Chain A
């Protein structure tokens, strides 16, 4: 059973370009979470999605950032007009349809490291 797959592993963008980060959840999981990890920091929650729905985006910056989880295909985190401060590791996690619990914690991908030059 493949784990949470994120790609690309590394992404380099120049200031002003767009960054697209992809996440395929574990098989059978329909809930996806995106977290951002700044250097020497813990993971900070950004957005929680179910298929075709954004459930909680309280951690998303108000501008330039968007996320989707279509009926078919991976979840996408999109950052428009990137700036140097967007440089970070972006992690995706997934959980089963009935939500994650003590017995079914979040499963994380290996992250995408975004570098903005």
Chain B
């Protein structure tokens, strides 16, 4: 079974600085999807960024980018120019493409604090 590990329970960053959240996963599949979700105190799960494993180019969404290292099974999230609104729990998630609706497998999350 696939597993997702987020080794940093908590991280903090100064406003306007850059922070990187780490995520590793374990799988025997060659193709899959990876996601980062943000969960603010409102509890809403917000998709931040996604990556297809067969794409070598790292995904980027405005201030959010990933460093996808397929051989190392690593999928870190970089947040540039951090803002107070970035404070939240961040979850890394894995999905197998083997069937149309396999569920997401989540890591335990990293709580990010942004210091003004």
Binds A, one of B12-20, B43-51, B69-77: B43-51
Total contacting residues, chain B, CB less than 8 A: 23
Question: Measured between alpha carbons, how far is A98 from B101 in the docked complex, in Å?
Answer: 9
Smallest CB gap from B35: residue in A: A105
The answer to whether A59 touches B108 (Cβ under 8 A) is no
Total contacting residues, chain A, CB less than 8 A: 27
* B84: interface (CB < 8 Å): no
Contact of B50 (CB < 8 Å), options: A59, A93, A95, A105: A105
0/1 interface trace, chain B 54-83, chain A, CB 8 Å (1 if under):
000000000000000000000000000000
0/1 interface trace, chain A 13-31, chain B, CB 8 Å (1 if under):
0000000000000000001
Q: Which of B61-116 contact A (CB under 8 A)?
A: 91, 100-101, 103-109
Q: Note all chain B residues with C-beta closer than 8 A to A108.
A: 37, 44-45
* B42: interface (CB < 8 Å): yes
The A contact surface, by secondary structure, is strand
Smallest CB gap from B47: residue in A: A105
The answer to whether A42 touches B106 (Cβ under 8 A) is yes
Q: Note all chain B residues with C-beta closer than 8 A to A99.
A: 100-101
Binds B, one of A43-51, A61-69, A70-78, A79-87: A43-51
Smallest CB gap from A111: residue in B: B43
Question: Measured between alpha carbons, how far is A43 from B106 in the docked complex, in Å?
Answer: 6
A59-B103 in contact given A40-B108, A42-B109, A105-B35 (Cβ < 8 Å): yes
Question: Measured between alpha carbons, how far is A95 from B33 in the docked complex, in Å?
Answer: 16
Closest CB in chain B relative to A6 CB, distance in Å: 10
Smallest CB gap from B109: residue in A: A42
Q: Note all chain B residues with C-beta closer than 8 A to A33.
A: 103
Q: Note all chain A residues with C-beta closer than 8 A to B52.
A: 102
Closest CB in chain B relative to A54 CB, distance in Å: 12
Complex A-B: 7 CB contacts under 8 Å: A35-B103, A41-B109, A99-B101, A100-B100, A102-B52, A110-B42, A110-B43
Add 8 more A-B contacts to A41-B109, A45-B105, A48-B101 (CB < 8 A). A45-B103, A91-B45, A93-B45, A99-B101, A105-B50, A108-B44, A111-B44, A113-B43
